Amino acid sequence: MITINPELKKIIETSYIALATCDKLMKPNLIIVNGVHVVGPNQILVTDKCMVKTRVNLLVNGQLSLAVWQGDQAFQLKGNAQYITSGSWKKIVDAYPENKKQVHKAAVLVNITEIWDLHNCKLLLSDNY
């Protein structure tokens, strides 16, 4: 199983993250998100604050890729996402301090399946191989 180490967790939770999706015709879309939280050994939780194309893409194709960087460290995370509009995960994002005064629509729970070190151009962890 993939495990996000404490160093990567800190980078994820304190940086802006590029989040890429594709629609059903494989047309790519990229947005920048922040306020992302690591909620399990291989899970992160993103809040939908203003996703438009991304929301549609996630509903038809749950595959996504994230890029995060800080200083000379850079990582790509790939995974499968669930778009969640109610229930416990939605309540968790509702309670995040950064979401208290912002309109938000849903929680996006991402199960990470690969982690790449972009600085050294190598695969670190994968559930796919």
Looking at residue 97, its pLDDT comes to 86
Task: Give me the mean pLDDT over the 99-123 stretch.
Answer: 91
Q: pLDDT by residue (tens digit) across 1-53?
A: 789 999 999 999 999 999 999 999 999 999 999 989 999 999 999 999 889 99
Tell me the two tokens of residue 17. 């993250």
What's the number of CA atoms in the CB half-sphere (13 Å) around residue 127? 13
Domains present along the chain, CATH in parentheses: 6-126 (2.30.110.10)
How many other CB atoms are found less than 10 A from the CB of residue 50? 13
The rounded mean pLDDT for the chain is: 93
pLDDT at 103: 77
Look up residue 105 and give its amino acid: K
CB burial of residue 85 (10 Å; 0-12, 13-18, 19+): exposed
Region of 65 (left: φ > 0; alpha: ψ -120 to 50; beta: rest) is beta
Please, which residues bridge with residue 98 across strands?
none
**In this structure, what token pair is assigned to residue 107?**
């929680």
> How much is the pLDDT for 125?
82
Residues in the chain: 129
What is the spatial distance between Cα 94 and Cα 68, in angstroms, rounded to a whole number? 24
pLDDT band for 102, please (50, 70, 90 cuts).
confident
129: pLDDT strictly greater than 80: no
Nearest to 112 by CA among 12, 31, 10: 12
Task: State percent of the chain over pLDDT 70.
Answer: 99
